[in-house]
Structure 1
Amino acid sequence: MQFKIISIYSLALVFALSACSGKKEEEKTVYENTKFAKGTENTVHLTSQQIQSVGITTTTIQNRNMEKLVRLNGKAEIAPSHISSVSSIMGGHIKSINIINGSHFTKGQVLAVVEDPQFIQLQQDYLVTKAQLEAARLNLNRQKDLNTSKASSDKTMQTAQADYSTLNATLRGLEEKLRIIGINAKGLNTGNIRSRINVYAPFSGFVSKILVNNGQYINPADTLFELINPAGLLLELKVFENDVNDIKTGQEILVYNNQKPDVKSNARIVSVVPSIENGGSATAVAKLSSAHSEFVKGMYINAEVNISNRYTQGLPNDAVVSFESRNYVFEDLGKSNYKMIPVVIGISDDQFTEIVKADFLKDKKIVQKGAYSLLMMLKNKAE
């Protein structure tokens, strides 16, 4: 009787193990039962059971209007035409410096004061020449009157005329020199001669560099300051190769910096460099629509470009799969065979992805639902 009980238990255990084994066989994934066409690394064959399990559906290449948001990044730079080196027209000693690095200044503001005895001499020469010119003018008028009555020779009058013309040219030259160094010759007299001149700001902007110090002697060719005009701020943006054809001169964009990502400013693409660099990107240059103090030279910035109403060819998003930074679709070859085809994608939205140069997919049946499962099958085969 005991032997019979053991036999019954043994028989029950055998049935249980058999049932578990059958259940595991049913739970095997479709990938483990996949059959591949001989001699092809990119083709997969499915059984009818696998097709039903994966739920294969197909679609075709489609034409449609799509929108794309291109994201760019780069740095803020200053156009060379808006970086100015300031020097003194005449040499001298730096008497005072009224700015510091990074400080803001306005057009016409006194940046520095330069002192030298030659400034005194220049003003003195002007006043002396001015007095001599007045005397020459009176003499010329007198000689003209005498020459009319033949009391003076033509030669004497001509000499008086030459003296007046020479002094007048000298005075105009001295007047222009005084204007260049910031002295108004019209208001100059013996009571306001000065030994110092001011160096004025040619525009409003920021100080980039100060290259001198108080007491230093400078020559006319020496640079005192490097100034930045913020009106020349440019945004140099990196455009990846896949987006180059979408970025055009004149496009309106939104830009922001990493410190304030929610504050976006308007800008416009002003040029696109027609070359691809070693890193696989081109450069687009944009300019802000209005000046913003948030953007300074050297700052990293981000930009968004909305590409709208682009008529192109594409496929539903789930028909395009990616593996190792490349994109693929699967063509239904018939008789449960599917071939993986590499494609180049363009813009994408919530539903569709653009296929660049998609004419070779025309009239082909492309797997939509189940494309990722087919990719996994090929991946398992390679492993």
Structure 2
Amino acid sequence: MYLKNISIFSLSVILLLSSCSGKNEEEKTVYENTKFKEKDQSTVQLSVQQMQTVGLTTTTVQEKTMQKLVRLNGKVDIAPSHISSISSIMGGHIKSIHVINGSRFSKGQILAVVEDPQFIQLQQDYLVTKAQLESARLNLNRQKDLNTSKASSDKTLQTAQADYSTLIATLKGLEEKLRIIGINAKGLSSGNIRSRINVYAPFNGFVSKISVNNGQYINPSDTLFELINPSGLLLELKVFEKDINDVKIGQEILVYNNQSPEKKSSAKIISIVPNIENGGSSVAVAKLSSPNHEFIKGMYINAEVTVNSRYTVGLPNESVVSFENKNYIFEELGNKKFKIIPVNTGISDDQFTEILKVENLRDKKIVQKGAYSLLMLLKNKVE
């Protein structure tokens, strides 16, 4: 019985040790495999089929004279001097509105019609004053003749002269009021008196806001429309601190919106705000060289500024890929195997990107076409 217990105990110890030994071997294997995978995360191996699908090509670092291209972004705005609030010179009821929000108009176009009896009264006062002035002129001439022959006193002549001068001033004032509300006093007669006046567009532009409706009574101080003159269109561009010394007043830039990046318009920087904001950027203000009706207030836009050129070393843009705000290239190792290499980039243009510290890359084959596909394959491999 005692020997039997010893045997059972011995067997248990052996099994326990065997179990522990097996567990240690398993952990060792897992650890080694993990180390291999971490080491292998910088390379990707392609099959023959993958090579054919991706269509890889390679290149080498190239020496080239490159221009620094500063890319900016911002919004379209309008200079305050080119935003106009339009009102009626005199109050009245809105009879009709001839535009809608967003309508484009030409200078002199009728925007709205206002009606009120006071317009009739103003024209009537003008015609009555005009008639009185003619009568006063005849009276003044008569008094002059009478005074010459001493048939009338100097006082009577002076009164006639004062009446005539007063009526001239009154008529001129009424004529100016009629001109302001759009009525030509020279062509006014009792047969063409009207109760309505037109509100005209003062320039070419478009309507950004309508504040009235038909039948509404408006006062002279009420705003009817907000009009925008596109010639005052400005581009407010964000310039980061690292580029602030490369952006100058007077520089020509190319501007485009996100909807039509291939359509680039010329503009010129006219002002730079001498202040770095909390986000580490300043603001450059530019003006289009010629009108572009596709640009509207509030639209997000992009700009490119070409600055001084320099002799440097770089790679085609498609060779450089970005991941998590870092730049990489792929080196061909042979046997359909590729290694990812982090790089620091400098200036860039439409075709090439400057690569900094290229001493270890000069004799290496660098992937050109297919670099992004390799990045995706490597990313999926890591995940």
Could you tell me the TM-score, scaled by structure 1's length?
Answer: 0.67
What's the counterpart of residue 221 of structure 1?
221
Sequence identity (%): 77
3-state secondary structure, aligned to 1:223: coil
The yes-or-no answer on 1:89 pairing with 2:89 is: yes
Contact 1:316 1:368 in 2 (8 A): no
Secondary structure of the residue aligned to 2:193 is coil
Q: Is the CA contact (8 Å cut-off) linking 1:238 and 1:282 kept in structure 2? A: yes
Give 1:173's aligned amino acid.
G
Counterparts of 1:146-165 in structure 2 under 5 Å?
A: 146-165=146-165
Instruction: Describe the shift of the 1:227–1:108 C-alpha distance in structure 2 as closer, same or farther (beyond 3 A).
Output: same
CA apart distance, 1:352: 5.8
Cα distance between partner residues in 1 of 2:89 and 2:269:
38
Aligned to 1:124: 124
Q: Could you tell me which amino acid in structure 2 is paired with residue 171 of structure 1?
A: L
Describe how 1:1-383 pairs up with structure 2 within 5 A.
67-309=67-309, 347=347, 368-369=359-360
Write out per-residue CA displacement over residues 118-175 of structure 1, whole angstroms, 9 at most, x where no aligned residue.
0000000000000000000011111111111111111111110000000000000000
- Give me the whole-angstrom Cα distance separating, in 2, the residues matched to 1:346 and 1:274: 26
CA 282–345 in structure 1, closer or farther in 2 if over 3 Å, else same: farther
Greater shift after overlay, 66-75 or 250-259? 66-75
C-alpha change, 1:325 and 1:256, in structure 2 (3 Å) is closer
Q: What displacement does 1:294 show?
A: 1.2
Mapped partners of 2:161, 2:347: distance in 1: 81
User: Who is 2:25 aligned against?
Assistant: none
**Structure 2 Cα separation of the partners of residues 181 and 241 of structure 1:** 53
**CA offsets, 1:229-270, max 9 Å, x none?**
111111111101100011011000001111111111111101
Q: CA RMSD in A?
A: 3.0
Superposition misfits of 4+ residues, deviation over 6 angstroms: 314-318, 324-327
Q: Which runs of 5+ in 1 are unaligned?
A: 1-23, 32-63, 319-323, 328-343, 355-365, 371-383
Aligned residues: 278
Structure 1 contact 91–219 (Cα < 8 Å) conserved: yes
Which secondary structure state, in structure 2, belongs to the residue aligned with residue 282 of structure 1?
strand
Residue pair 1:242, 1:346 contacting (<8 A) in 2 also = no
List runs of 5+ in structure 2 lacking aligned partners.
Answer: 1-31, 40-63, 316-323, 328-343, 362-383
Structure 2 CA distance for aligned equivalents of residues 201 and 85 of structure 1: 11
Structure 1 contact 147–154 (Cα < 8 Å) conserved: yes
CA contact (8 A) 1:139 1:160 kept: yes
